[in-house]
């Protein structure tokens, strides 16, 4: 069994990134890139064919397209699914939490050394977790002080606040009442120690909860 190569699918919308990941991974013994996907939809379809062990998944595939977290959920929902290792440039809570909740086995940043990338692939293939240090630190902080951590929904609300949406528009986007949005904002202000939308966005950005 140790001689069986780990079969990889590289999913990223940038051809240069896919080529770079392929070049790095195929220099490693026991790793073979059997397919690439330029969209999250294609990654879901290709991963279902049964000959992939680990999917290296980016998070963003363009506006109005399925994202990496959604693709991860679709892939991991199937019986006998391959493992999904997120490989991205984004490390905010707004990015990491949806991906991990969707079933990603690991989360690595694109600036990771090649040796770390190869090790993360092997770890994912074995069903174990590898997290980028920055991601692991923030997850540990959430566990240490859960009462002060923003929930997934609160982060979703704050991301839309950062985009300039009104409470009404946020409610429509997230299928919430305007009153519920206001309640989320009130809790966000309390947790972040701020008293305005602008301050909430600035503080959350500084803390790495959302990206701007």
For residue 171, the Cα-to-chain-centroid distance in whole angstroms is: 24
Instruction: Please give the backbone phi and psi of residue 196, each rounded to the nearest 5 degrees, phi first.
Output: -155, 160
Per-residue pLDDT of the chain (212 residues; tens, 9 = 90+): 457 899 999 999 999 999 999 999 999 999 999 999 999 999 999 999 999 999 999 999 988 889 999 999 999 999 999 999 999 999 999 999 999 999 999 999 999 999 999 999 999 999 999 999 989 998 888 888 877 889 999 999 999 999 999 999 999 999 999 999 999 999 999 999 999 999 999 999 998 999 87
- The CATH architecture one would assign to domain 6-141 is 3-Layer(aba) Sandwich (3.40)
- Measured in degrees and rounded to the nearest 5, phi and psi for residue 171 equal -60, -40
Q: Does domain 152-206 have CATH number 1.20.810.10?
A: no
Burial-class residue 28 by CB neighbours within 10 Å (0-12, 13-18, 19+). Answer: middle
Query: Tell me, what's the pLDDT at 2?
Result: 54
Check residue 1 and give its pLDDT. Answer: 42
Domain with CATH 3.40.50.2300 in the chain: 6-141
Residues in the chain: 212
Residue 87 is predicted with a pLDDT of 96
Name residue, tokens 């540990």. Answer: 140
Q: What is the pLDDT of residue 145?
A: 80
Q: Where in the chain is the domain with CATH 1.10.10.10?
A: 152-206
DSSP assignment of 89-155 equals S--SHHHHHHHHHTT-SEEEETTS-HHHHHHHHHHHHTT---B-HHHHHHHHHHHH-TTTSPPHHHH
Please, are residues 55 and 82 in contact by the beta-carbon 8 Å criterion?
A: yes
Q: What is the pTM of this model?
A: 0.85
């Amino acid at each position: 069994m140790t001689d069986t190569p780990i079969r990889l699918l590289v999913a990223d919308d940038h051809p240069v990134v896919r080529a770079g990941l392929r070049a790095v991974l195929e220099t490693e013994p026991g790793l073979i890139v059997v397919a690439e996907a330029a969209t999250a939809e294609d990654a879901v379809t290709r991963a279902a064919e049964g000959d992939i062990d680990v999917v290296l998944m980016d998070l963003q595939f363009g506006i109005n397209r399925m994202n990496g977290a959604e693709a991860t959920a679709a892939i991991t929902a199937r019986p006998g699914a391959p493992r999904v290792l997120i490989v991205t440039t984004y490390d905010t809570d707004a990015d990491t939490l949806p991906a991990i909740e969707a079933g990603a086995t690991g989360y690595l940043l694109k600036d990771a050394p090649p040796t770390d990338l190869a090790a993360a692939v092997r770890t994912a293939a074995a069903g174990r977790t590898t997290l980028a240090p920055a991601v692991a630190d923030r997850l540990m902080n959430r566990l240490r002080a859960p009462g002060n951590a923003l929930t997934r929904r609160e982060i979703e609300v704050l991301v839309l606040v950062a985009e300039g949406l009104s409470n009404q528009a946020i409610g429509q986007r997230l299928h919430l009442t305007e009153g519920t949005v206001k309640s989320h904002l009130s809790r966000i202000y309390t947790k972040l120690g701020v008293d305005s939308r602008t301050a909430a966005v600035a503080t959350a950005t500084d803390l790495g909860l959302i990206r701007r």
